[in-house]
Structure 1
Amino acid sequence: MLSYTEAGSGPAIVFLHGFCESKELWTDFTKPLQHQFRIITVDLPGHGESPMTHDFSMENQARQVQETLTSLEVEKCLLVGHSMGGYVGLAIAEQFPELLYGLCLFHSSALPDTEEKKEYRDKTVDFVRKHGIDKFMDTFVAPLFAESNRVSCADAIEKMQAIGKATPQETVLGCLQAMRDRVDRTEVLKTTSTPVFFIAGKEDPAVPLEATLQQCSLPENSMTYFLGHVGHMGMFENTALTRQALLKFAETLYPADAQRYRAANSF
C-alpha cells in the first residue's frame, strides 16, 4: 500500500505528484479544498514515504494507486495528476475507468516522449549515475518555474529541491526510464467518457503550450485553463487562480455538493 494523507469529507479528490516530488507538493494547495471535499494525496512508488518498487512503469504505478484507493474505500474520484502523476492518471483512466468521475492533467500530457526528449532522459540517467541526485536537483527544479517567478517562488524551489534530493537514486533512474518508454495515450483521451481538465502554463518548458493545444479537444468532454506567466508549477506560481480553476471543474462533477456547500457557507 502506498503512503497517503487524508483530510476533509465529501466527494473524493485524489492528488498525484510528479517526478522527484512527493505528496508534500500539495500540502498548502489543498488545505482550502478540505472544507468541501475528501482530499487524498498519495506518494507514488519509491517517492516520499511509499515503498520501493522494481517496476516504475506507468501501468504498475497505476495499479498501486488503484489498490491504495480500494483499501481506502474510494469507489470513484476526481484524480489530479501533476506531470508524471498525470501519466499515471491516464494509465488509470485506461485500466480502471470506473474509478474516475474526472481527470485533471495538471501540466501533463498523453503524448509519448519525442526522440529528442528520449535522448534527454538518457543523458539525465548518465548524469545522475555520474554526479548523483543532489547535483541533478540543483539544476532541475528552478527551470520548471517561469523565469519571472523564480524570485517570488524561491521558498517553493528550495522545498522541491529538498524533496527531490531525498528521493532514492533507484527511483529517479527507474522513473526516467519509465517516462522515456511510456506509450502514447492520446487514444485514451479520444475514447474516454470521463471529463478531462487540462491546466497548462503558457511558459511550461516540460509540457509546451502547443502540446496541450494538440490534445485538449480530443476528449468528448473537456475543459482547459491556460495560465499566463506560469511554467510547470502552477500550484506555486499562481496558487489562487489554479486552485479556483480546479474547484470550478470539481463543482461541475459534483453540482449537488457544490450547492450544499455554498448554502452552508452563505452569510
Structure 2
Amino acid sequence: MENIYTDAGSGDTLVFLHGFCESKQVWAGFVAPLQQRFRVITLDLPGHGDNTASSSPYTMESLADEVKQRLDELEVKKCLLVGHSMGGYVGMAFAEKYGHRLRGLCLFHSSALPDTEEKKASRTKSIDFVERHGVTSFVNPLIEPLFYEGNRDRLQQEIEMMKEIGRQTPQAAVVSALAAMRDRPNRAHVLREAKYPVQFIFGKDDTAVPLDKALEQCHLPDYGTALFLGKTGHMGMFERTAETQKALVKFAETVFELVS
C-alpha cells in the first residue's frame, strides 16, 4: 500500500492530487523543494499509478472518500489540499464533504464549475472511443495539446513521461474517470461558503480550463488569491515550475500563519 502515496518532510501538511490519466509521479520534481519546509503527501487515485484498487465506476464523491480514508490512515487531521485538473474536482468534492479538514485549497488548473453540455458530449464520445480503440490510441494525442504550443519543444521529456503514465492507466479507470468528470455537479457554492483560503492557478492558454471559466470563479471565496500565467497551458507544474512553486509556498505560509 505504501507505493500508492509518498510522504516526506515535516511540519504543516500539503496534500497533492493528480489529474486524469496522471499519477503522483507528475508532482515528483515539483514537490521536492517543498519537502524542506512542509510535510508533503502525494496520492495515487484509484486506478491510477500504483493504486490498483478497483477502478469500477466511481464518482468524485467516492474519490473524495478515498482521499479522506488515506488521510485518516496517515493521521492527517488538517491540510492544504492541492488538486490538479481532475484532482481539483476531487478536491472540490472533498471540500464539500470534509471542509473541516482543510486549512486551505488550491485549484491548480482546475475548476469548481461543471462541464458544459458540449464538454459532456465530448466526454461521452471519448468513452466510446476508449472502449472501441483502447487507451493508447486515446492518450497519445491527448497530452501534447495540454501544453502551450511554445513550451512543447523544451518539454518533450515531460510530454513523453505523461504519455507513458497515461498509457499505463487501465481502460476501466479511464472510462470511469471520464464519466465521473462528465457527471460532476456545480460546486461554485462550495467556494462561496469556504471557511478557508482558496488559491487558483490558471494558464491563460489553457484549453481545458478556458480563461472565461477561470474568471467566473476566482472571485467567489471570501479569501482567495489567483495567479494567471501567460504562455502557459494546463501543466503549470512543468511549464512554469518556479513561478507556481513560489506562489504555492507563499500561499501555504499565509494559510498556516492564519491558524498558528
Per-residue CA deviations over 1:6-50 (Å, capped at 9, x if unaligned) read 111110000000000000010000000000000000001111111
Partner of 2:29: 28
Partner of 2:179: 177
Partner of 1:7: 8
Q: Which of residues 81, 93, 100 in structure 2 aligns to 1:79? A: 81
Mapping of residues 51-90 of structure 1, within 5 Å: 51-90=53-92
Q: Which of residues 138, 141, 144 in structure 1 aligns to 2:143? A: 141
Question: Would you say how many aligned residue pairs link Structure 1 and Structure 2?
Answer: 258
- Provide the identity percentage: 55
The alignment partner of 1:254 has SS state of helix
Structure 2 unmatched runs, 5+? none
Partner of 1:96: 98
Per-residue CA deviations over 1:205-255 (Å, capped at 9, x if unaligned) read 000011111100001110000111000000000101111111110010123
Take 1:244 and 1:193, find their aligned partners in 2: how far apart are those partners?
Answer: 24
Partner of 2:215: 213
Take 2:229 and 2:250, find their aligned partners in 1: how far apart are those partners?
Answer: 15
State the superposition RMSD in angstroms: 1.4
Partner of 1:156: 158
Which 4+ stretches in 1 moved above 4 angstroms? none
Mapping of residues 254-265 of structure 1, within 5 Å: 254-255=256-257
Take 1:237 and 1:43, find their aligned partners in 2: how far apart are those partners?
Answer: 22
Matched residue type, 2:217: Q
Partner of 2:44: 43
Q: How far 1:56 moved relative to its partner?
A: 1.9
Take 1:55 and 1:66, find their aligned partners in 2: how far apart are those partners?
Answer: 19
Take 1:53 and 1:228, find their aligned partners in 2: how far apart are those partners?
Answer: 36
Matched residue type, 1:232: H
Matched residue type, 1:62: A
Matched residue type, 2:138: F
Matched residue type, 1:103: L
Q: Residue 196 of structure 1 contacts residue 223 of structure 1 at CA under 8 Å; is this kept in 2?
A: yes
Matched residue type, 1:37: F
Q: How far 1:62 moved relative to its partner?
A: 0.1
Q: How far 1:256 moved relative to its partner?
A: 8.7
Matched residue type, 1:161: K
Take 1:127 and 1:141, find their aligned partners in 2: how far apart are those partners?
Answer: 16
Matched residue type, 1:17: H
Take 2:223 and 2:67, find their aligned partners in 1: how far apart are those partners?
Answer: 24
Matched residue type, 1:220: D
Take 1:44 and 1:126, find their aligned partners in 2: how far apart are those partners?
Answer: 23
Take 1:134 and 1:90, find their aligned partners in 2: how far apart are those partners?
Answer: 29
Partner of 1:168: 170
The alignment partner of 2:140 has SS state of helix
2:258 is the alignment partner of 1:253? no
The alignment partner of 2:35 has SS state of helix
Per-residue CA deviations over 1:128-163 (Å, capped at 9, x if unaligned) read 112111111110000000011110110010000000
Matched residue type, 1:14: V
Q: Residue 22 of structure 2 contacts residue 48 of structure 2 at CA under 8 Å; is this kept in 1?
A: yes
Q: How far 1:192 moved relative to its partner?
A: 1.2
245-254 or 158-167, larger mean C-alpha shift: 245-254
Partner of 1:225: 227
Seen in structure 2, the aligned counterparts of structure 1 residues 257 and 102 have a Cα distance that, compared at 3 Å, is closer
Q: Residue 55 of structure 2 contacts residue 172 of structure 2 at CA under 8 Å; is this kept in 1?
A: no
Matched residue type, 2:5: Y
Q: Residue 235 of structure 1 contacts residue 242 of structure 1 at CA under 8 Å; is this kept in 2?
A: yes
Take 1:41 and 1:17, find their aligned partners in 2: how far apart are those partners?
Answer: 8
The alignment partner of 1:46 has SS state of coil
Q: Residue 55 of structure 2 contacts residue 176 of structure 2 at CA under 8 Å; is this kept in 1?
A: no
Take 1:176 and 1:169, find their aligned partners in 2: how far apart are those partners?
Answer: 11
Matched residue type, 2:211: L
